[in-house]
Amino acid sequence: MSGTSHDGYAPRAGVLDEQTWPAMRDGAWSVAMLPFGATEPHNTHLPYGTDTIMAREVAARVAAACAAQGVPVVALPAVPFGVNTTQLDLRFTINMMPSTQLALLRDVVHSLEPHGVRALVLLNAHGGNELRALVRELQPSTPIILAIVNWWQAGDHGVFAEAGDHAGELETAAILHVAPQLVVPDRATWGDGHAKASVFDGVRGGWAWVPRRWTQVTADTGVGDPRAATAEKGAAFVAQAVERIAGFCVQLADADPHAMWV
């Protein structure tokens, strides 16, 4: 028993929002993660901040997993807004244009450059955040290796009956695991996440694409049926995703930007 006023002091390893300057000032932090979320409705049972919560939490767990392997990885504060140009008619959806994301990312990257960061992982939780174009534009102007991870693609979807796309089984299970107090408890009120099919043959065939006007596609804002979700599935999936992403970060910590292909 310490008996000090510091009982309960528990900043998480590498989580910048929670750390002090002395904790971050020394040593090598060669890998950083920038969580990308969104602010948008998630069916009738998950919070607006679902994507931001997941990006932030996965980043924190990845940082902890890397620290346990002796590799310091810093989880930067999460970007709470994403690209939501097709949901603007849904109340309090907050859109951030891709061009704004590019400006934001450029400033973050340049802020990291003087401090020994060799790789930055954009840890994305929102499908509308198509970050590759940003990376393609920025990479020639920075020595930092820029990488993208869509966290929901890092685990094995076989754990789910149907992972779903937006507020479906995967996302619902994940939030049931990390923030169950934010999930509407009465499952009878959850929307079924039914999404209408496109009128275009090419779009249905997967080789043509048009933006989905959300309110035309789905009645409850969800895409994918959430009702088979459980906290146990969420725990299994998140754990696998965290382990894989941590492995990627550990590799990045030693990566030679001039020899990344064999």
- Provide the minimum distance between the beta carbon of 127 and Zn ion in the complex, in angstroms, as a whole number: 7
Residue 221 DSSP label = S
Helix, strand, coil in percent for the chain, rounding step 5: 40, 15, 45
Is residue 221 within the footprint of Zn ion (CB under 5 A)?
no
Q: Token pair of 150, please?
A: 């869509």
Q: Which residue is nearest to Zn ion (CB)?
A: 51
Calpha distance 16→76 (Å, rounded): 6
Taking CB under 5 A as the criterion, the residue among 49, 51, 173, 222 binding Zn ion is: 51
Q: Token pair of 93, please?
A: 């959806």
Is residue 218 within the footprint of Zn ion (CB under 5 A)?
no
Is residue 86 within the footprint of Zn ion (CB under 5 A)?
no
Is residue 52 within the footprint of Zn ion (CB under 5 A)?
no
Calpha distance 139→142 (Å, rounded): 6
**Closest Cα partner for 73 from 31, 109, 27, 113?**
31
- Provide the minimum distance between the beta carbon of 223 and Zn ion in the complex, in angstroms, as a whole number: 10
Is residue 50 within the footprint of Zn ion (CB under 5 A)?
yes
- Provide the minimum distance between the beta carbon of 114 and Zn ion in the complex, in angstroms, as a whole number: 34
- Provide the minimum distance between the beta carbon of 85 and Zn ion in the complex, in angstroms, as a whole number: 16
- Provide the minimum distance between the beta carbon of 36 and Zn ion in the complex, in angstroms, as a whole number: 11
Calpha distance 67→62 (Å, rounded): 8
Is residue 57 within the footprint of Zn ion (CB under 5 A)?
no
Nearer to Zn ion, 145 or 170 (CB): 170
Sequence length of the chain is 262
Q: Give the binding site for Zn ion (CB under 5 A).
A: 50-51
